Amino acid sequence: MQTRTLGRTGLPVPILSFGASSLGAEFRSVTLDEVLGSVRVALDEGLTLIDTSPFYGRGMSEVLLGIALKGVPRDRYQLCTKLGRYDLTHFDFSARRVAESVDVSLHRLGTDYLDIVLCHDIEFVPMQQIVDETLPALRKLKEAGKVRAIGFSGYPMKIFRFILDQTDVDCVLSYNQFTLQNTRFADEMVPLLKARGIGVMNAGPFSARLLTNAPLPAWLKEPEAVKEAARRAAALCAQRGSDIAKLALQFSLSHPDIATTVAGSANPVNIRNWARWAAEPIDAALLADVQAIFAPVRNVGHREGLPENN
């Protein structure tokens, strides 16, 4: 698997990382065999950066990852976890909870350090606390050697400028905003992040199944016009003997200034397919035709979090 350097952290990360939210049964029930098999295949295929959170499965993802990684040499993988979001509506970004959360994650994951820790979905809280309290607490843990790199994650573009206008971080993670249909993250933020030496992480290349052939989840918030364009794009890919998911993944991996893209599944077959697709050249003609379908709804998204954070 090709690697890129995560900003000024010096961490070499695979262009495709393994998202472990599915291990927490966030989308469907999973078996222990699926969990163990998915982690094993991800590592074998070179998806050696694993992204998780105490929010995923309300701790289940971290616990099962700790089991799956038991006995695996620590230098064979990197761990990114998060803090601050612990349930759908339970957020706690206090300095005290920062220290507790990192220690709990270390215990669950069976390690003595975390490569990356991100403040999770900060758009749902008054964000000044992130600047004044959460990130300073994380810096202390970095100085103590428990964490190697710190940052934050979220959906609205406004959150990135709000934080970065006031303080510095090692890396950030955006989701669902560098895809075939929505490139706002690359258009609006990546040049600034690159200039600042901040590591760039992307997640959600399939935009919550929008850019796949799977049935759309009932909770998907994208407007109907976006969904309709996605259905037409998927049909075109099928007519050309391809899969929209393949094109979507390859597109998200293609940006040279995005260090890694996170994709998650508890299905080892999916992970093997992704690794194979990552190594294949993108179909430029198909990409151009799909982008033409999406042109009328390009960068159309939804609102997430507090109104003042959008």
Tens of pLDDT along 168-227?
Answer: 999 999 999 999 999 999 999 999 999 999 999 999 999 999 999 999 888 899 999 999
Residue 28, pLDDT score: 77
Rounded-to-integer distance, Cα 267 and Cα 272, Å? 9
Q: Count structural domains, the chain.
A: 1
Q: Does residue 147 lie within any of the structural domains?
A: yes
Q: Give buried/exposed letters for 112-141 (b at 16+ CB in 10 A, else e).
A: ebbbbbbbbbbbbbebebbbebbbebbbeb
3-state helix, strand, coil in the chain (%, to 5): 45, 15, 35
Average pLDDT, the chain: 97
Hey, which bits of the chain come out as E strands?
A: 3-5, 12-14, 16-19, 49-51, 78-83, 114-119, 147-154, 171-175, 199-203, 260-264
Residue 215 lies in a domain: no
CB neighbour list of residue 291: distance below 8 Å, 6 or more residues apart = 180, 298
In the chain the first and final C-alpha atoms are separated, in Å, by 35
For the record, the structure tokens of 265 come out as 């599944």
Residue 27 has pLDDT above 80, yes or no: no
For residue 248, tell me if it sits in a domain: no
- Kindly report, residue by residue over 154-164, the tens digit of the pLDDT: 999 999 999 99
- pLDDT for the residue 24: 82
246-298 pLDDT, tens digit each = 999 999 999 999 999 999 999 999 999 999 999 999 999 999 999 999 999 99
What residues does 73 pair with on adjacent strands?
A: none
User: What pLDDT, in 10s, does the model give residues 64-113?
Assistant: 999 999 999 999 999 999 999 999 999 999 999 999 999 999 999 999 99
Question: Active-site positions?
Answer: 56
| Inside any domain, residue 4 | no
- The answer to whether residue 262 sits within a structural domain is yes
Report if residue 308 sits inside a domain: no
The answer to whether position 224 is within a domain reads no
Per-residue pLDDT reduced to its tens digit, 113-137: 999 999 999 999 999 999 999 999 9
CATH classification of the domain holding 192: 3.20.20.100
Print the domain residue range for 170: 13-208+255-282
The answer to the question of residue 141 being in a domain is yes
